[in-house]
Amino acid sequence: MAKQRTPDGPPPPPAVQKLRIQYARRGRLRHSSTRDFGRALERALRRAGVPMAYSAGFHPHPKISYANGAPTGAASEAEYFEISVTEQVDPEAVGRALDAALPDGLDIVSVVDAQPGALADRLQASRWRLEFPGTDPAELEAAVQGFLAQEHIEVSRMFKRGMKSYDARGPVESAWTEVDESGCAILTMVVRHTTPAVRPDDVLSAITAATSFAPTRSPKATRLAQGIWSSETESVADPLATD
């Protein structure tokens, strides 16, 4: 039996602290993917001098984990990731340094020490805002009410293993419309996280399937929040808040 190779030299320093970080994806950077953000983040961590913990092995990589990123093309005020560091650091200082090192449009919102348990388990629902410029607000309202009147609406999307159909109505806990100061029709909705994830474009496809609604152009989608879903208060709570 061949002897297993191990890298030369000492093992990497152990992680002594884990940080949970909220960031926003704004403006033109909403078109960046999670992979694009990962590359920008690793450069920013180096420039900011964050004492990152690394994996062992022949190809060590920084200990960063991402959780439930928004789809490419959607803006977001509530994206999350975790990092592990080899020295005790001040979370607020790390946040300021990272924010200065990241490109404009990728903005650090909050940095805290990680609580016990998995971050992904605290991301149970999202609140989304969809802007429909040029759409009659009354038409949007009628379409949303028609959608909410249904119990189940199937949509289909292509995945790596092929086309898959799933319900885009059940995960939508609430949805309502309004008009902003410019007269633009707005749809706000709270969507529980499921597998597969129901995205804003899935909900729009379901609305179109259930009604005659057909917007002249795709809406701008922004994730306003994601976190712990409370059925009692029908709210999405901050996942970084202390229990």
Walk along the chain (243 residues) and give the pLDDT tens digit of each residue. Answer: 555 666 666 778 899 999 999 999 999 999 988 889 999 999 999 999 999 999 887 778 899 999 999 999 999 999 999 999 999 999 999 999 999 999 999 999 999 999 999 999 999 999 999 999 999 999 999 999 999 999 999 999 988 888 999 999 999 999 999 999 999 999 999 999 999 999 999 999 999 999 989 898 899 999 999 999 998 888 999 999 987
CA 216 to chain centre: 27
- The pair phi, psi for residue 97, each rounded to 5°, is -65, -40
* Pairing between β-strand 235-237 and β-strand 220-230 as defined by DSSP bridges: antiparallel
Contact 146, 51 (CB under 8 A): no
Residues 62, 50: Cα–Cα separation, whole Å: 11
CA angle 212, 217, 218 (to 5 degrees): 95
Residues 206, 155: Cα–Cα separation, whole Å: 6
Give the residues across from 189 on adjacent strands.
128, 175
Residue 22's nearest CA partner among 71, 79, 61 is: 79
Tokens read off for 64? 């960063």
Residue type, 230: S
pTM of the predicted model, to two decimals?
A: 0.92
Residue type, 79: E
Contacts of 185 (CB under 8 A, 6+ apart): 131, 132, 133, 135, 136, 137, 139, 140, 177, 179
The SS3 assignment for 239 reads coil
Residues 133, 131: Cα–Cα separation, whole Å: 6
Tokens read off for 143? 């379409």
Tokens read off for 8? 């030369």
Instruction: Give the number of other CB atoms < 10 A from CB of residue 61.
Output: 10
Instruction: Give the number of other CB atoms < 10 A from CB of residue 14.
Output: 8
Q: Is residue 38 within a helix (H) or strand (E), and if so which, with residue range?
A: helix 34-48
- 109-134: per-residue pLDDT in tens? 999 999 999 999 999 999 999 999 99
Token pair 């749809």 in the structure block, residue: 187
